[in-house]
Amino acid sequence: MSSEEFEKLHEVYRSLYEELKLMPERAIKCHGEERKRLVRTFDERNGEAEEVLQGMEDELRAAPSSYRNAMSTKLRLYRRDLGKLQRDMKNSASSSGSSFQPGEGSQHGIYSSQNQQSRHLQSQRALLLQGTESLNTASQSIERSHRIAVETEQIGTDIIEELGEQREQLDRTRNRLVNTGENLSRSRKILRAMSRRLVTNKLLLGVIIVMELAILGAVIYLKFFRK
């Protein structure tokens, strides 16, 4: 909705309404042709005011709901005030003991009032259809949001289950690593023990070799050099 256009229409309507508001009182003081001209002028201005109100309603349909609701109430008051002016003008035109018969201008006023009611009903029907469409759109949006929430919940449940499985796998891996560390510790102890035994064996072997060489040397000495 163009707020500037709506405000322009609002100003035009207020100007027309202020002009129309003075005519019923003037009609009481007028007679004959002057009164007929005043009635025709009233009908013309009334028709213009109806067109301006219709233009305001057209602009208002595209407005945000919060703004549209408030201005729709104000438009209904404008139409009520305009209808009251039409009744006042009709009563003023036929007052003062005059046998004034409605001519073409008055008939135009009646037709304008009927057209006003028809347009008002059409406007209300359009607003009702628009409200129904908005309600359906909101319901579909809520349904989509609910479906997305259910899917998101399912995805979250699957992720939690998968994380639980991964945690169990990590616990098993950690236990295996602990067992492997214990086995490595035992293996290191065994290797150290074997290393000590190997050194001991080498020392014993060295002592045995030295003793055998000494014995061999003693035998040779006793056999060949001691005569």
Query: Two tokens at 100?
Result: 């004034």
Judged against a pLDDT cut of 60, whether residue 149 lies above it is answered with: yes
Count how many domains the chain has. Answer: 2
Q: How many CB atoms lie within 10 A of CB 93?
A: 25
Shared domain check, 72 and 134: yes
Rounded Cα gap, residues 17 and 105, in angstroms: 18
Which string of DSSP letters, residue by residue, matches 162-180? Answer: HHHHHHHHHHHHHHHHHHH
In this predicted structure, what is the pLDDT of residue 103? 45
Shared domain check, 201 and 138: no
Q: In the listed set 78, 108, 142, which residue is the last one of a domain according to the structure?
A: 142
Rounded Cα gap, residues 16 and 20, in angstroms: 6
Rounded Cα gap, residues 48 and 52, in angstroms: 6
| Residue 165: inside a domain | no
| Residue 136: inside a domain | yes
Is the CB of residue 141 less than 8 Å from the CB of residue 74?
A: no
Give the residue among 59, 62, 48 at the shortest CA–CA distance from 12.
48
Which string of DSSP letters, residue by residue, matches 195-220? Answer: HHHHHHHHHHHHHHHHHHHHHHHHHH
Shared domain check, 93 and 27: yes
Is the CB of residue 92 less than 8 Å from the CB of residue 28?
A: yes
Rounded Cα gap, residues 37 and 27, in angstroms: 10
Shared domain check, 124 and 13: yes
| Residue 171: inside a domain | no
Is the CB of residue 53 less than 8 Å from the CB of residue 79?
A: yes
* Band of pLDDT at residue 105, cut at 50, 70 and 90: very low
Shared domain check, 81 and 12: yes
* Band of pLDDT at residue 215, cut at 50, 70 and 90: very high
| Residue 32: inside a domain | yes
Shared domain check, 102 and 203: no
Lowest-pLDDT range of 88-92, 129-133, 222-226: 129-133
Q: What does the pLDDT look like over 27-52, one tens digit per residue?
A: 777 777 888 888 888 888 888 888 88
* Band of pLDDT at residue 97, cut at 50, 70 and 90: very low
Shared domain check, 121 and 220: no
Shared domain check, 104 and 15: yes
Shared domain check, 217 and 120: no
Identify the domain containing residue 220 by its residue range. Answer: 191-227
* Band of pLDDT at residue 100, cut at 50, 70 and 90: very low
| Residue 148: inside a domain | no
